Structure 1
Amino acid sequence: MKEIEKCRELTEEEDKSFIWKETRRYLGLGAKAGDSMTEELISQCLKDLESTAAPKWAVKEFPLKIQGDRIYTEGFSTESKSLLKNLAGCEKVIIFAATLGTGVDHLIRRYEKIQMSRAVVLQAAAAAWIEEFCNRKNRMLKEAYEKEGWFLRPRFSPGYGDFPLECQQSILTVLEAGKRIGLTLTDSMLMAPSKSVSAVIGVGRQPVNCRLEGCESCDKSDCQFRRSKE
């Protein structure tokens, strides 16, 4: 993984375009632009996040063992048909976590008290921002692994399909996420900070014709927030 930081990033304009598009999607606008007031509010919220977010990530690789319907790694063990399908043909897994930091939560809570419309847009923009950050790091991992003859599956998060949400505890523990990036879990299995992601990424020798983002690997095809395939 030493070559990861040398891999190509999206340009600033490509990053911004993705975040704008995803913010609109989370707001229920689909691919359409909102009215002028909404677009201006999105712009203001993205500027707020730019000065507040402190994105961090943690990643570790482990061998993968599958026996029957059970998945074994040094990071976690579980039964999940949907994750098993995602990991078909894989020999190891990458365990991944990322967060925007506590400042974003504080910003959203502040506006929930004084301007709820801005808080709603901040929620959407922050969700888009963390997804863009994860996608960027996944692309970096993809490029680094392919140089060594390995190919990645789409990231798959606890809570997708029948992958138990409880596995987040093991994932964050093995990553030492609390110490390394300030990411912990509440008693109800919610991540703190809230704008955070944990995921498993399968690694195999056979190339696969799929994107690495997480939305496409979710079976909930009728979700109103599902990303278009276009």
Structure 2
Amino acid sequence: MDQMTKEAIRYLGYGKHAVDEKTLALISDSFRNLEDAADKRSIYRIFDFQQIADDRLKIGETEVQSKSLGRNLRGCSGIVLFGATLGTAVDRLITRTSLTDMAAAVVLQACAAAVLEEYCDECQAEIGRILGQEGLYLRPRFSPGYGDFDICFQEPLMRMLDCAKTIGLTMTDSYMMTPTKSVTAVIGASKTKENCHTKGCEVCDKKDCIYRRNVPVT
């Protein structure tokens, strides 16, 4: 079983339970359909970063208040703002599928999330190679909505990346992204290499890591 299939199963919430053959077939079909539909696009820009306090940060000219993000970025000297999308055709594919087969649509949603995550990992690895030439190392992606990093900060991130023009990514008044299979994130850049899991906190076993996203905010 390849890693993408394992990721889709994780998103479906199977945990350690066995996956039936019908679901595996749906996963396989979904990945094939997504390969045809996805129009992957990404953008990143590098900004100056200043940590004013544990929970107060300045990214470019934008001030952010978040203790969990401050924890993640501690020791960083620069910030990468990142955005990525699978495009509108994936949204249309999921909508069409949900009209005729809800089970298949649920699997398609999970597979799309896995495809997006893998694409973001690939993009971050390339950014890491570029910044590595300057002696910088990247922290895990940290998106608005994680911890106490309020979802409202989606708006300045997208504006600073000019997402609408660069990758066709927009946002509703309730901070939902269009296309829906999209992501924005902050990535810290530090001169110190940390052993942070590429796939992020959800699949990392290091529960006491100070950079962990889902550490309860106190």
TM-score (norm: length of structure 2): 0.89
Match of 2:15 in 1: 30
Whether 1:215 and 2:201 are equivalent positions in the alignment is yes
Amino acid corresponding to residue 218 of structure 1 in structure 2: R
Match of 2:62 in 1: 76
Amino acid corresponding to residue 49 of structure 2 in structure 1: L
Match of 1:112 in 2: 98
Structure 1 residues 33, 134: closer, same or farther in 2, change over 3 A? farther
Q: 2:84 aligns with which of 90, 95, 98?
A: 98
Match of 1:54 in 2: 39
Amino acid corresponding to residue 115 of structure 2 in structure 1: W
CA RMSD of aligned residues (A): 1.6
Moved over 4 A (4+): none
Match of 1:7 in 2: none
Identity of aligned residues (%): 43
Distance 2:185 2:47 in 1: 13
Whether 1:202 and 2:188 are equivalent positions in the alignment is yes
Distance 2:159 2:49 in 1: 18
Amino acid corresponding to residue 61 of structure 1 in structure 2: I
Count of equivalent residues: 206
Amino acid corresponding to residue 214 of structure 2 in structure 1: D
SS of aligned partner of 2:196? coil
- CA offset at residue 220 of structure 1? 5.9
Amino acid corresponding to residue 23 of structure 2 in structure 1: T
Q: Deviations over 1:101-141 (max 9, x none)?
A: 00010000111111111111100000111001001111111
Q: Deviations over 1:37-80 (max 9, x none)?
A: 11111111111101001110010000101212310112632111
Whether 1:125 and 2:111 are equivalent positions in the alignment is yes
Match of 1:151 in 2: 137
Whether 1:193 and 2:179 are equivalent positions in the alignment is yes
Contact 1:61 1:92 survives alignment (8 Å): yes
Distance 1:112 1:197 in 2: 22
- CA offset at residue 146 of structure 1? 1.6
Whether 1:20 and 2:18 are equivalent positions in the alignment is no
Amino acid corresponding to residue 64 of structure 2 in structure 1: T
SS of aligned partner of 2:15? coil
Amino acid corresponding to residue 166 of structure 1 in structure 2: C
Amino acid corresponding to residue 40 of structure 1 in structure 2: A
SS of aligned partner of 1:159? coil
Distance 1:18 1:76 in 2: 37
Distance 1:18 1:194 in 2: 23
Distance 1:161 1:75 in 2: 22
Whether 1:67 and 2:52 are equivalent positions in the alignment is yes
- CA offset at residue 31 of structure 1? 5.2
- CA offset at residue 175 of structure 1? 0.6
Structure 1, unpaired ranges of 5+: 1-15, 222-230
SS of aligned partner of 1:59? strand
Contact 2:72 2:213 survives alignment (8 Å): no
